[in-house]
Structure 1
Amino acid sequence: MTLSSIHGYLIAYGLHRMRQVTGVEFTGLPRPGELGWVEPFEALLGTGWPEAEPVLTSIFSRVHLPERGQEQQDTRQAPKVYIRPAELCMDGDTLFPKAEKPADLNAAKASVGQGFARAYADLEKALAPDDPRFFTAFYHLMERFAWALPNTYGEPGVSLFQQWKAVAALVFASGGTDHPADRFTLIGGDIPGIQDFVYTITSKGAAKGLRGRSFFLQLLGDAVVRRVLADLELCLCNVVYDAGGNFMVLGPEEEKAVKAVERIRRQVNARLVEAIQGETALVLEAMPVSPADLFTPHRFKEVRDDFAQKVAQAKNRPLKELTDDWATLFEPKGRGSALSCTVCRIEVDEHNSKPLERTGEVPEGDERPRICYLCDSFARLARDIRHENLWMTVAEKPERLGTEAQPKDGWAELLARMSGFDYQFNDEPPKTEGTVLALNRPDFLKAQAHGFRLLANVTPKTTQDDINYLRDEARWEEKDIPEKDDIRSFTLLAHAAATAGAIERVGVLRMDVDNLGRVFSEGVPDLTLLKLSALSGALDMFFGGYLNVLVRDQTENDLYIIYAGGDDLFIVGAWHHLPDLAGAIRKEFKVFTGELIQKKIKVLSGGERARLVLAGLLLQKHNVL
């Protein structure tokens, strides 16, 4: 079966199920009998579930985590909370569950179906059906409109979007044949050493360096996933989750998958050793599974735990593919230069570094400090993504995969050499042959894009008042003053606190979900592959999307999201805002997960393990953003 045919059948299957759930007719619906070949794949999702409910229960309603030692005595279930059918939008009324079923359930479903029909008609006008980006756009339409619709086979807590996505993943992992494969492969990745990599900076370039480095690691995970999908001829539906430098993909039979995993792991880590000298590495592992392993609750829990242990053990040998060339791996790096990058401290020379731009926060000196091109590119990446309206373009460039590193390589060149994918960011819709994703725009077709991506991306920008302050009160030289709308510096964030009557300091907020590891391993008694994907997707909606709303509600221009994804966040800003922000985030997260759910599984706690490093950065009198 051709790729175009597979796409066509899966789109028809999605339209069929959307009509069944919403009651709305669509153009392009399959004729009777056309979907017979999909039935064996859908049957793998399980037949032992209760009768399908007319409304989606929150995935957090499936979570129950007793105190340690009380597992046998405490067998209570979390009370149900419900998601009202609605088009995906980053506001509390849409995202947050309710204790009661919607009174206007049928009307809400019909409204979703009508919106989907209009959007699908727009898609048909925007792209040809045989354009591979048409299927990508349909995936994102299903995510936008079916995320809050119930599935049709009965598994509690799983949306219609997750159902369609799982069936499509099984079809692709079976090689596009008309029957499911007997065996599949779970492919899992992790990027250990993230904190060491992100915090390996001096005070010069601190916040731009933090933001650029942390986002580069998000892009690294995205690029590796795309390489896995491309090499194994899979699609976005095969990504079970991808968040926080950690991801899982459902792949084909073991032999083909293992070869791809070993090849990709070697390609990526060889380039990382060249570029950042082992500060972080890619862990990528594969494990064979059967369909029953994925969709039978008790079996999937065992499989997931075994696989998590395998990935954890691999972290102890992150560069194992490179150990057959000890001489190259352990040879001295650099050329014996006396110079080092003023940000990351790696040895540099005139070929792989440039003089650091002076600002009022980098004092004059006899010897101008230097910055390596990679660190400089991280700062530029932070600038490139500072816009609220942002488009990300991804284009496959296989000719760049595995090519030799060059002294002036930045983050984009490094990613392309590791993955064969080129990334670009624009503050207006780009004209390109690549796949365009509108950041934080589920209504992506109106943004002239092929899909959307949630990204916590609140960035404070330099105002005219800031420029006046630096010129008239701080007495900075004109050449040192940043341009309007550049990223606001730590100096200006601290000044914002002082202007509000608080102490002139910048604060740091780190939060994560308590016991999340136990939630995934113990907290969902009937955990399956789909529930795992649903849990991860729900957390991404909060930390990747809704967090933007919370931060902007707190203050317009005094807070900077350095990182948020998976289950944690890292925000810096004028310190007097942070206690209130922490309280607001914690309160909203409790509502998002359902107020009646037991406390142990839903608490966000704050703190910072690397607090001495960050304290050193923040206490510097002159601190470059």
Structure 2
Amino acid sequence: MKRYLLKVDISGIQDFIFNVPGKGASRNLKARSFFVQGLTEIAEQYFTDIAEKTEVLYNGGGNLFIYLRVAQDVLDSAISKFQNCFLQEAIFPFIAYIEAEHDDAFYTQMQALHTKTSLKKLVRPFLSETFQPMDASIFDERFRMFAKKMVKAQGYSIVKSDSNELNLSIEENQFKIAGYILRLEYGSQAQKSFNETIINAMPLDKDKNKEKGILEFDKIAEKAKSSRKVDDKLAALKIDVDNLGVLFRNKSKDEYKKLSNQLKKFFSNTIYSVLKEEIQHGNIYPVFSGGDDCFLIGAWDIILQVAQKIHHEFDAFQSTLCKTFGLEHPLTISAGIVIYNPKFPMARIGQTAEHALELAKDFGKNRICIFGEVLKWNEFENAGQLAIKLKELIEDGESRGILERIRSSEIGFLSLQERAIKAHRIDFPKVYRLKYYLRNVKNSKNKEILENEFKKYEDALLEDFIHGRKESNAAQFPVAARWAELLTKSVNT
């Protein structure tokens, strides 16, 4: 009987969560997200029960790493049996393992395990063409009922089923698969608590005339317009940690456990504390948050605010982590935001937010993509501050047309930047022609405010000239203008 290090990697998570109809989506998403988390929880219990001795290295974000002392034939049979329960499902657990008798070769073992898992993902077994999957409408309705029960639950437990049925079944307060039941609990008997975590946190409809239910997304958008007088759009925010491979490089087993669980705690507990008030106010819906990433949907203006708050919290968190573990390089996060109409197909929201996140990482990571533009985090905050200034000017009587002129100025600034870098020449007359966009500003005070903002870009161009590289990001201006447009949608000028 040998000791193995096993990995369960749930594949197809994003498509599984977001492939839902628009009606009732807010109930469906949360239940599906929790279902994914529950699968690795069930997998942990499943493999623990077949082994003589186990040690969980990490469980979260659709991944399980666990040490098992077990006979190889028993392990192989258990893996096959577990995977067979998912042959007809949209998600699938790829499972790989390696021998791991000693901990002193931990990093090498993890590399070998990741390689083996990647090879497993090249082939997924399927049932024959005659298989008939569960009716999608029944599937969706059961998830909606499950989410309704989640709201009131205190936690959950995992127990072995008395039935010989192995395939997936979903009921209003539990789901079964692989011979195990994950059951919602409503008292102290819960094995795992929801207390102060983001797992079952959802915005609730506070209509006094009916039972509290999960707030639908169109209601969140309507609330933004009615209570804050901003555009009634929604936004999706996807955040994840950059360069995790570098973080865990050459770490011991104990360091890996501590680091990964600190990250898990940040995304489950700390982010909940950041979002708690906005969730209670019906502005934010956390689809999932755990492991090393999170996905939020909410009123667009609040999403832009909480993105900054999460970044600040993570910066403080990683600073403490660096000191505690002696990390050489700071941890960073990247983010993608998409703003959309509430009627936008839910199945595409996950894809577009993921694409925005990928754009942010393509530009060097530690960045955020918003309105199709990639900004550094400080530039994003600068754009937000400028958007507030522009909003105040519009409310003070300036025409909203000024926002379009500012958005158009990006082309001129980008041209000047390229000229400063490539030709090592600054054409300042062009800078002043850009100010011509502001000729219709109604009063001198407002004009001074805007000219001060243009001055920052003159200074930035000089920096580009001196250093021979792009030190500034002209996209801050059009982002701020677009931001202000949405903030002032209800202002008549």
- 2:187 matched to 1:428? yes
Give the superposition deviation at 1:493.
0.5
- Evaluate the alpha carbon distance shift between residue 375 and residue 262 of structure 1 in structure 2; reply closer, same or farther with a 3 A threshold: farther
CA distance in 2, matches of 1:249, 1:209: 30
Native 8 Å contact 1:412 1:422 kept in 2: no
CA distance in 1, matches of 2:20, 2:328: 37
Native 8 Å contact 2:234 2:300 kept in 1: yes
**Match 1:504 to one of 232, 235, 241:** 232
CA distance in 2, matches of 1:539, 1:564: 11
**Match 1:244 to one of 51, 61, 67:** 61
Give the superposition deviation at 1:401.
4.5
Q: 1:273 is paired with a residue of what secondary structure?
A: coil
Q: Which residue of 2 aligns with 1:607?
A: 336
Native 8 Å contact 2:287 2:295 kept in 1: yes
**Match 2:128 to one of 330, 352, 356:** 330
Q: 1:215 is paired with a residue of what secondary structure?
A: helix
| Aligned amino acid, residue 422 of structure 1 | I
| Aligned amino acid, residue 65 of structure 2 | M
**Match 1:463 to one of 169, 182, 206:** 206
- Evaluate the alpha carbon distance shift between residue 614 and residue 260 of structure 1 in structure 2; reply closer, same or farther with a 3 A threshold: farther
Q: 2:269 is paired with a residue of what secondary structure?
A: helix
- Evaluate the alpha carbon distance shift between residue 378 and residue 584 of structure 1 in structure 2; reply closer, same or farther with a 3 A threshold: same
Q: 1:250 is paired with a residue of what secondary structure?
A: strand
- Evaluate the alpha carbon distance shift between residue 393 and residue 413 of structure 1 in structure 2; reply closer, same or farther with a 3 A threshold: closer
- 2:307 matched to 1:307? no
Q: Which residue of 2 aligns with 1:378?
A: 143
- Evaluate the alpha carbon distance shift between residue 247 and residue 403 of structure 1 in structure 2; reply closer, same or farther with a 3 A threshold: closer
Native 8 Å contact 2:155 2:186 kept in 1: yes
Q: Which residue of 2 aligns with 1:573?
A: 298
Higher relative contact order (CA 8 A, sep 6+): 1
- Evaluate the alpha carbon distance shift between residue 316 and residue 618 of structure 1 in structure 2; reply closer, same or farther with a 3 A threshold: closer
CA distance in 2, matches of 1:536, 1:596: 11
Q: Which residue of 2 aligns with 1:391?
A: 155
Native 8 Å contact 2:52 2:69 kept in 1: no
CA distance in 2, matches of 1:229, 1:510: 33
- Evaluate the alpha carbon distance shift between residue 413 and residue 224 of structure 1 in structure 2; reply closer, same or farther with a 3 A threshold: farther
Give the superposition deviation at 1:609.
9.7
Native 8 Å contact 2:236 2:297 kept in 1: yes
Q: Which residue of 2 aligns with 1:546?
A: 270
- Evaluate the alpha carbon distance shift between residue 383 and residue 595 of structure 1 in structure 2; reply closer, same or farther with a 3 A threshold: same
Q: 1:593 is paired with a residue of what secondary structure?
A: helix
| Aligned amino acid, residue 561 of structure 1 | P
| Aligned amino acid, residue 310 of structure 1 | K
CA distance in 1, matches of 2:45, 2:37: 13
Q: Which residue of 1 aligns with 2:163?
A: 400
Q: Which residue of 2 aligns with 1:485?
A: 212
Q: 1:190 is paired with a residue of what secondary structure?
A: strand
- 2:44 matched to 1:225? yes
CA deviation vs aligned residue, 1:276-300 (integer Å, no higher than 9, x gap):
3xx2211111111222xx1x2xx32
CA distance in 2, matches of 1:197, 1:559: 21
Native 8 Å contact 2:218 2:342 kept in 1: no
Percent identical across equivalent pairs? 20
Write the mapping of 1:184-199 to structure 2, written as runs, cut at 5 A.
Answer: 184-199=3-18
- 2:70 matched to 1:290? no
Native 8 Å contact 2:236 2:339 kept in 1: no
Native 8 Å contact 1:400 1:417 kept in 2: no
Q: 2:204 is paired with a residue of what secondary structure?
A: coil
Normalising to structure 1: TM-score of the pair?
0.50
- Evaluate the alpha carbon distance shift between residue 186 and residue 415 of structure 1 in structure 2; reply closer, same or farther with a 3 A threshold: farther
Give the superposition deviation at 1:262.
2.7
Q: Which residue of 2 aligns with 1:440?
A: 195
Q: 1:272 is paired with a residue of what secondary structure?
A: coil
| Aligned amino acid, residue 156 of structure 2 | M
Native 8 Å contact 1:261 1:284 kept in 2: no
Native 8 Å contact 2:241 2:293 kept in 1: yes
CA distance in 2, matches of 1:428, 1:575: 36
Q: Which residue of 2 aligns with 1:516?
A: 244
Q: 1:202 is paired with a residue of what secondary structure?
A: coil
- Evaluate the alpha carbon distance shift between residue 421 and residue 532 of structure 1 in structure 2; reply closer, same or farther with a 3 A threshold: same
Give the superposition deviation at 1:559.
1.1
Q: 1:282 is paired with a residue of what secondary structure?
A: strand
Q: 2:319 is paired with a residue of what secondary structure?
A: coil
| Aligned amino acid, residue 239 of structure 2 | M
CA deviation vs aligned residue, 1:353-409 (integer Å, no higher than 9, x gap):
xxxxxxxxxxxxxxxxxx53322221122222224x612122222x3244467xxx3
CA distance in 1, matches of 2:263, 2:167: 38
Q: 1:461 is paired with a residue of what secondary structure?
A: coil
Give the superposition deviation at 1:212.
1.4
CA distance in 2, matches of 1:228, 1:379: 29
Give the superposition deviation at 1:584.
0.5
Considering fraction of residues, name the structure with more strand.
Answer: 2
CA distance in 1, matches of 2:157, 2:95: 25
CA distance in 1, matches of 2:308, 2:80: 44
Q: Which residue of 1 aligns with 2:315?
A: 590
Give the superposition deviation at 1:330.
2.0
The number of aligned residues is 343
Root-mean-square deviation (CA, aligned residues, Å) is: 3.2
Give the superposition deviation at 1:206.
2.1
Q: Which residue of 2 aligns with 1:267?
A: 81
Give the superposition deviation at 1:518.
2.8
Native 8 Å contact 2:286 2:297 kept in 1: yes
Unaligned runs of 5+ in 1: 1-173, 175-182, 323-328, 335-345, 349-370, 442-453, 468-482, 621-625
Q: 2:183 is paired with a residue of what secondary structure?
A: strand
CA deviation vs aligned residue, 1:29-68 (integer Å, no higher than 9, x gap):
xxxxxxxxxxxxxxxxxxxxxxxxxxxxxxxxxxxxxxxx
Considering fraction of residues, name the structure with more helix.
Answer: 2
Q: 1:330 is paired with a residue of what secondary structure?
A: coil
CA distance in 1, matches of 2:301, 2:244: 29
Write the mapping of 1:7-406 to structure 2, written as runs, cut at 5 A.
Answer: 184-234=3-53, 238-252=55-69, 256=71, 258-274=72-88, 276=89, 279-291=90-102, 294=103, 296=104, 299-319=105-125, 329-334=127-132, 348=135, 372-387=137-152, 390-397=154-161, 399-403=162-166
Q: 1:218 is paired with a residue of what secondary structure?
A: helix
CA distance in 2, matches of 1:415, 1:231: 21
Normalising to structure 2: TM-score of the pair?
0.63
- Evaluate the alpha carbon distance shift between residue 284 and residue 614 of structure 1 in structure 2; reply closer, same or farther with a 3 A threshold: farther
CA distance in 2, matches of 1:209, 1:201: 7
Q: Which residue of 2 aligns with 1:83?
A: none
- Evaluate the alpha carbon distance shift between residue 611 and residue 516 of structure 1 in structure 2; reply closer, same or farther with a 3 A threshold: farther
CA distance in 1, matches of 2:255, 2:285: 32
CA deviation vs aligned residue, 1:416-475 (integer Å, no higher than 9, x gap):
341x22222134335xxxx6322236xxxxxxxxxxxx554321001127x6xxxxxxxx
Q: 1:605 is paired with a residue of what secondary structure?
A: strand
Give the superposition deviation at 1:231.
1.1
Q: Which residue of 2 aligns with 1:475?
A: none
Q: Which residue of 1 aligns with 2:370?
A: none
- Evaluate the alpha carbon distance shift between residue 226 and residue 404 of structure 1 in structure 2; reply closer, same or farther with a 3 A threshold: closer
CA distance in 2, matches of 1:508, 1:576: 11
- 2:176 matched to 1:416? yes
